[in-house]
Each structure stands twice: as structure tokens, then as C-alpha cells.
Structure 1
Amino acid sequence: MEPQPKKMTLIQLTFIVAVNMMGSGIIMLPANMAQVGAISLLSWLVTAVGSMAIAYGFAQAGLFNDRPGGMSAYAEDAYGKSGYFLVFFLYFLSLAIGNVAIAISAVGYLAAFIPWVSSTPIATCIGVIALLWLTTTANFGGAEVTGRIGSVTVWGVIIPVGLLSIFGWFWFSPKTFAEAWNPHGMTLLQGMGSSIALTLWAFLGMESAAQNSSAVEDPKRNVPLACMFGTLGAAAIYILSTTVIQGIVPNAELAKSTGPFGLAYAQMFGPWAGSIIMALAVMACLGSLLGWQFTIAQTAKTAADERMFPTLFSKVNSMGAPITGMIVLGLVQTLLALSTISPTLNEQFQALVNLAVVTNVIPYIIALSALMVMMQSAGVPDNKYRVNVAIALVAMLYSLFAIYASGKDAVFGGMIATGIGFVLWGFLAPRFTSSTPRLATA
């Protein structure tokens, strides 16, 4: 009998969840939020509550349904095979879009050391494609290798962001923070709503533990724990770091920065510290991209195992890595990267982020709405049922608000993507229906 490929532990999976969330979103977040002002920090109150509710919902769903597929498997309990496919397809698409956006972020940080990569749109595209393929091939070693690398690269975020969250307060200026509070004269609701999409982008990844369930030891225990631990830790770091940095770096400088944490450390300790933080940020971006490449390949493999996707995505090497599927996904992401060759790269990056949020949140709603069916089938006591329903409702309402806050262009793109999904399902559906013809009745 051939030895079974080693699977990830709880600690490794928690690191994967953390790096998937923190590896790219938090690194650029202070600069993006500074364009609104420190008033945008209020959006954390909404996003932190919404994200924890989503994570709790997925943790509970994992207790009632430990089949491979994560969110797709949850959706199947309430919506059948069509629900499974739609959640898989939209989530799969959001990961492909998000990977290109993360790679663009990483190239932006690399430009501090290799200016050529940002000299022209074509040079930037070459850099993005190179990073996409570097992280694709790094996953050929299977789940164990990805878990080990992710547990190292996450420190590229934890060290600079964590230290700033704790010690940055010694450099915090209430005057600087007050001047940054509301430079555009927004109302509280406007300031809060304008940053919902950005803050949710930073939290995308909380579901990656569920998506990797088939590559994890004891998934019934470890998937819910990794989901909650990763999200709770990220929330604390996000809120502290994005608050303290607004009181260290003047708002106008922060809003224009392509490396906000590097800028903060440069002001605190000097240019040498800023360069070190920029290098750590590059490492963190690469680790985040590596984790997402593994997640999207595992998602495609699980769907293919369920006959929901071409069988080539099921083929694995001796270390359990679906190499053929990874290569196909690399080609798809290369095509997406080529579409970013434009003088308005920043606008396209923002469009990619917003579309990734919408196509990710729709599967959240579908999967969480299936929790009621799961609990009914499991015979959950009334008290627990009511608590879980209340928290799942908060999660779904927040998800709906996040779709609205992403803007009409992203919602339009999400509807097109959903329509394409149903077109594809029309060709897959005959695989799962009875071959016995139904008789027409008068």
C-alpha cells in the first residue's frame, strides 16, 4: 500500500487562514483607508462583527457537515448539486481574480528594490505573471510543504504589523490623528460605508480552512478552530495597527504611500527600518499568494472529485498536489494578468478587488443560509438553534451590505459571473439527474 500524503495540522491550517487574510490586505490597507480619513476606522466595528459572525457560522457548519468541499458542501445540503456548483464556481472565480490582485500588490512592493518592474505597464505585467508561476510551482510539493512555507512567511506580516500594534503607540500623536480624522467632511455613515469593501477584502480568507478540509488532520475539530482563531487574531491586529499608524504618519503622506508600514517604520527609526519592513512585506505577499494558489487548486480538485469539474483537476502527484490543475489555473491567471496591461493599473486593481469581494460574498450567503437545514437534520436543541440562526442572520445581512458597498460595477460583474455559472451548470446537470424519462401529463 502506498503511503498516504501527510496532512496539515491545526497550527499549520491556522497559519494558512491567517496568511490568506493578512498577507496582502493589511499591508496596503492603511494607505487605502487614509484616502477616506481616520473616520474610516469606524468600518472595523461593522466588519469585525460581520466577519466573526461569518467565521462562527462556518465553524458551526463544519461541525454538522465535514464532507470535502467546504462552503460548496454546505450549500448542497439546502440547494442540492446546483447549489454546490454555483458556490464552487463563484468562489473559484473570486480566488483567481484575487490572486492577480495580490500579485499586483506584491509587484508594487518589489518596485522599491527593483524599480524596473513598475517602469511600464508591460513590465508590471511580466512581474505579476512571474510571481503567479513562482507560487504555482512552489505548491507542487503538496499540503505539507505549503503549510511549512506559510507558517514562515506569515511572520512577514506578524512581525511588522504586530510590533507596530504594540509599540507604535510610543510614537502616536493625538494631534496627527485628529488632523487625519475627517479631511473630506463625511458623515459617520459615509465614512463607515466607504471602507466596508476594503476592510472585507482584508478578511477574505476566513473560509479557507473549510475549503482545505480534505487536506487537514481531523477536519471536524481543526477546521472550526482554525477558522475562529485565524479570524479573531486578524481582527485584533487589523484594528490596532490601522489606528496607530494614522497617528504616526500624516494623512496626506499615508494616502499617497505604496508601502504604508514601511513609511511608518522609516519615520519611527529611519530609512533602514523602512527598507527591512518593505522586504518583509514582499515575503508576506508571496506567502499569501502561495496559500491562495494551494486553496484554489484544492477547491478545483474537490469539485472534480464530485464530478463538478473536468477530471484533469483530480490528478495528483505522489505528494498529493494536483499539478495538472495547477498548471491550468496558472494559465487562467496569466490571461487575467494580461488583461491588466493598462495605464490605469490602479483603477483596474480596485476593480479586481471589488469584483473579488462580490463573487466571494455571494457564496458566503448561500452557504450560511444552508445552516438551518443542517441543524434541523442534526436535531440541534432549540436554544442552540436560535443562537446559531441569529448569528448566521447577522453574517448574511453584513454580507448583503458588503455587496452593496462594493459598488454597482462590481455587482454588475458579479451578476454576469453568476449568469455564466448557471449556463455551465446546464451542461453539468444531466450528470446528476435520473436517466429515466419523465412522462408528460395532460
Structure 2
Amino acid sequence: MGDYQTRRVMGFWRTWGLSVGMMVGSGVFMLPTVLAPFGAYALAGWLVTGLGTIALAYSLCYMAKRITATGGPYAYSRAGFGDFVGFQMAWGYWISLWIAVAAVTVAFVGYLSEFFPVLKTSPTLSLVAGLSLIWVLVFVNCRSVRGSSALQLITTLAKFLPLLFLALVGLVSVESTNFAAMKEPADGLDATIAASALAMWAFIGFEVATVPAGEVQDPARTIPRATMMGVLAVTVLYFAVTVAAFGLLPADELMNSTAPLADAASALVGPAGATVIAIIALVATSSGVNANLFAAGQMPMAAALDGLFPSLFGMKTKFGTPAWSFIIGGILSSVALALNFVNGLVVAFEFLILLSTVTAILPVAMSAASAWLYAVRDPHASRGVHLRDTIVAAIGFGYAVWIIAGSGRDSVYWAFLLLLAGLPIYVWVTRQRREGAE
């Protein structure tokens, strides 16, 4: 049992695969259509988003070198601002993860229905297909961190490389007239801001590589490298995919497309291209489910071992995995998935997805604030290093706050209430910890 607990099985590539696998989910397959109305300003929006995300990633990397405990944004928030803030960030981030498991599973079932049309007309079969995916992955994660991380790397490469190939080949085949025909918004600044806010949703999840630090080899070195290289790789991929789609499809067709990458692939290699994209989408969404589920098990385990979550989440099997943490996350994801197939609750479920995004960004913002705090207090840094670390952390924090503000008042309002709803749990576990100490 001790051997399983002390063995670190995640090197650079598995950690990189977790980060990239979390980011490259269902969102990339709709990005060209979403950004098409902004014309050339969409590319400017990518630049803003890329720089903001890099600043956030740098802040997380800064903390990863100093805090090597499992938990990622939760651990960094706790290190900077104490147990109470740490618990709040853990609570919100955990909820965002199991909601995301359900959301990406819905997307997986949607792509699966292209091969099994009966899923389009049978909510029951759709639910069974989705639940089957969740619980197969729960089993894999309960059984082995090695197996889960290997699966994550394989599925990440299986979706990343074909998408990159499509983008690069597509760039060679673009029609310049398609760019010329694109409509340009009247207000370039507003268009750039709107495009960058929309593009940010595709980067959610870059922070996940910091969560399983206890399973990573040399985490102070591996996690920063994997996180930053993951963000840079995905930025290049998204930019190339967007430009290729803009150049392969006429503007009007692109803006009205429900499957822009499939349409772009069809324009490039014929009808078979759409089938290939659908297969890649299945790989991408299943990989995204696994990444979210993995983090949804590891993060509350870290909080439980720190005495901030119920101890059940920290119990490990003989394989060294927090099985109950995965099982509870799987149950809650299954409930959220089932709600999606109940008439009248679809709108509510869509709102939960946006809420999931806000509650995921909050801990990242707090981690950037922790990096800012650490940089200000660092007595050993040279003047230049001190200035660099302070400025980048401040930019990352400001960008995260801007993204939260751009999510809408309702989302921020409910995210605040969600954090308050976790307070009884905090009171309970704190009391249990105090009684145990006495």
C-alpha cells in the first residue's frame, strides 16, 4: 500500500496531456462560427486572450514552484490567504468540475448520435450512453492513476495532432476572397473585447495540471513546464484552426454553420472529412470528461487531507487512489446529466454550465492574487525578477477579474450564493477537526 502512495507516475507528457486534454474539448469545434461575426477583430481577440491566459498560467507556475502540495488553485489560495479562503476555492472549484463532467458528457452523446441516430430520438438511450461513459471512467480513475493519466495522454494526442494537421493543411488551401468578404464590426475595440471574452471559454481547464501535484514527478519543475507548454500549444492550435476555417469557408456559410470544423474538413478533403472530425470530437469530449473527473477526485482529496473537506474524500484504496472522491463526483455528475434529459430543465442546465465556468475562474484569480502576494513578500528576488513577477501576477489577477465580470451579473450572483452554501460544510469539518485534536 505504501508503494502505491509514494509512487509518482505522471511525468511531463502525462501532465501536459491532462492540461491540453482539459482545454481542447467540445468548444474548439464551434469557435470559428462563434468568432466569425467579429471578422479580423476575432484574431485580435485571440491575441488578448492568449496574453491574458499566459499571465494566469505564469502565476500558477510561480506558485507551483513554491507549493508542491496536491490541489492546484485550492492549495495556492490556501497558502496565500489561509484555510477559510482555501475551503471556499476548493468548494467552488469542485462543483465546477463535476458540473463540467456532465456538460462535456452531453456533448459526447451529441457527437455519438451522428453514428447512432437513435440517440437523437431516445432520451433514455442518450442518458444510458452518457452514464456509461462517466462510470467507465470512474472505474479507470479508481483503479489506477497510471492508467487514467496514460488514457488522458493517448486521447489528447489523438485529438490534438489531427486538429493541428487540419489547421496546417487548411492554411495552405485558404481562399483569400473568403477573408475579404468577412463583415467587420463598426466598433473595433468592443469587437476585440467581446471576441477575447468568448475565446477565453476555450482555455478553461489550463490550470488542471497543477491539481495532482502529489502524483507528478518533480512537481516544482514538471508542472510549470507542462502548464506553460500546454497553454502555448493550445493557443497556436486555436489560432491556426480559426484562421483555416475563416479561409476555407465563405463568411455567410461559416456564420450559419453548426459544425464549422466538419464543414471546413469537407471543403478540404471531401465528405470523409466530416466523419473524421466527428470521430475526433468523440475523442476530444471523452478526453475532456476524463480530465474533469480526474481533477474532481484529486482536488477534494487534497482538501480532505488538509482537514477542510469530509475525511471520506481523503480515503485511499490499496491502489493509492481516492476512490470515494471519484465515486461521489461520478454520482453528482450523473444527477446533473440526468437533469439535462428532463423536459423543462435544459435552460437551467445551460445556466449551470456558465456557473461552472465562473466558479472555475474564481480559484484561478485567487491563485494569481497569491502569486502577487508571494512576489511582493519575496526577500530573495532581484529587483528585475521582483518587478517581473509582481507585474505578471497583477496582470493575471486583473484579467481573471475582467473575465468574471464579463460572465454576467446572474452568474456572479449565483456563484457568490454557491460559495456561501458551502459554509455549513466548513463549520462542520472545522468542528470535527477541533474535536479530533482534543
| Greater Cα shift, 173-182 or 298-307 | 173-182
The residue number in structure 1 matching 2:261 is 261
Q: CA deviation at 1:316?
A: 2.3
Maintained 8 Å contact 1:17/1:205: yes
Q: Give the distance between the partners of 1:255 and 1:28, measured in 2 at CA.
A: 10
Aligned length: 435
Q: 2:63 is matched by which residue type in structure 1?
A: A
| Greater Cα shift, 408-417 or 387-396 | 408-417
The residue number in structure 2 matching 1:45 is 47
Counterparts of 1:266-345 in structure 2 under 5 Å? 266-341=266-341
Maintained 8 Å contact 2:209/2:226: yes
Q: 2:418 is matched by which residue type in structure 1?
A: A
The residue number in structure 2 matching 1:93 is 95
TM-score (norm 1): 0.90
Distance 1:431 1:374, change over 3 A: farther
Q: 1:404 is matched by which residue type in structure 2?
A: A
Q: Matched residue of 2:308: which SS?
A: coil
CA RMSD of aligned residues (A): 2.6
Distance 1:23 1:177, change over 3 A: same
Q: Matched residue of 1:300: which SS?
A: helix
Q: Give the distance between the partners of 1:36 and 1:108, measured in 2 at CA.
A: 27
Counterparts of 1:23-422 in structure 2 under 5 Å? 23-34=25-36, 39-119=41-121, 121=123, 123-182=125-184, 185=185, 187-341=187-341, 350-375=350-375, 378-381=378-381, 382-422=383-423
The residue number in structure 2 matching 1:426 is 427
Distance 1:333 1:429, change over 3 A: same
| Greater Cα shift, 18-27 or 289-298 | 18-27
Q: Give the distance between the partners of 2:55 and 2:111, measured in 1 at CA.
A: 33
Maintained 8 Å contact 1:27/1:259: yes
* Structure 2 gap ranges (5+): none
Q: Give the distance between the partners of 1:85 and 1:304, measured in 2 at CA.
A: 10
Distance 1:189 1:420, change over 3 A: farther
Maintained 8 Å contact 1:31/1:254: yes
Distance 1:54 1:313, change over 3 A: same
Q: Matched residue of 1:354: which SS?
A: helix
Maintained 8 Å contact 2:307/2:433: no
Identity %: 25
Distance 1:433 1:12, change over 3 A: same
Q: Matched residue of 1:154: which SS?
A: helix
Q: Give the distance between the partners of 1:42 and 1:342, measured in 2 at CA.
A: 40
Q: Give the distance between the partners of 2:354 and 2:207, measured in 1 at CA.
A: 18
Deviation by residue 1:350-379 (Cα, 9 ceiling, x = unmatched): 534321221111111212111244345552
Distance 1:246 1:145, change over 3 A: same
Q: 1:55 is matched by which residue type in structure 2?
A: A
Maintained 8 Å contact 2:155/2:284: yes
Maintained 8 Å contact 2:80/2:373: yes
Q: CA deviation at 1:341?
A: 2.6
Q: 2:417 is matched by which residue type in structure 1?
A: I
Q: CA deviation at 1:399?
A: 0.8
Q: 1:418 is matched by which residue type in structure 2?
A: L
Deviation by residue 1:42-87 (Cα, 9 ceiling, x = unmatched): 3212210110000000111111222232222211223211011011
| Greater Cα shift, 321-330 or 80-89 | 321-330
Distance 1:371 1:406, change over 3 A: same
Distance 1:258 1:367, change over 3 A: same
Maintained 8 Å contact 1:39/1:181: no
Q: CA deviation at 1:205?
A: 1.6
Maintained 8 Å contact 1:21/1:206: yes
Q: CA deviation at 1:139?
A: 1.7
Maintained 8 Å contact 2:70/2:298: no
Q: Give the distance between the partners of 2:398 and 2:384, measured in 1 at CA.
A: 21
Q: CA deviation at 1:9?
A: 0.7
Distance 1:284 1:91, change over 3 A: same
| Greater Cα shift, 278-287 or 403-412 | 403-412
Distance 1:211 1:79, change over 3 A: same
Q: Give the distance between the partners of 2:356 and 2:175, measured in 1 at CA.
A: 36
Distance 1:342 1:29, change over 3 A: farther
The residue number in structure 2 matching 1:18 is 20
Q: 1:203 is matched by which residue type in structure 2?
A: F
Maintained 8 Å contact 2:298/2:325: no
| Greater Cα shift, 153-162 or 26-35 | 26-35
Distance 1:254 1:71, change over 3 A: same
Q: 2:385 is matched by which residue type in structure 1?
A: K
Deviation by residue 1:383-417 (Cα, 9 ceiling, x = unmatched): 32221110011111111111122122222221221
* Structure 1 gap ranges (5+): 437-442
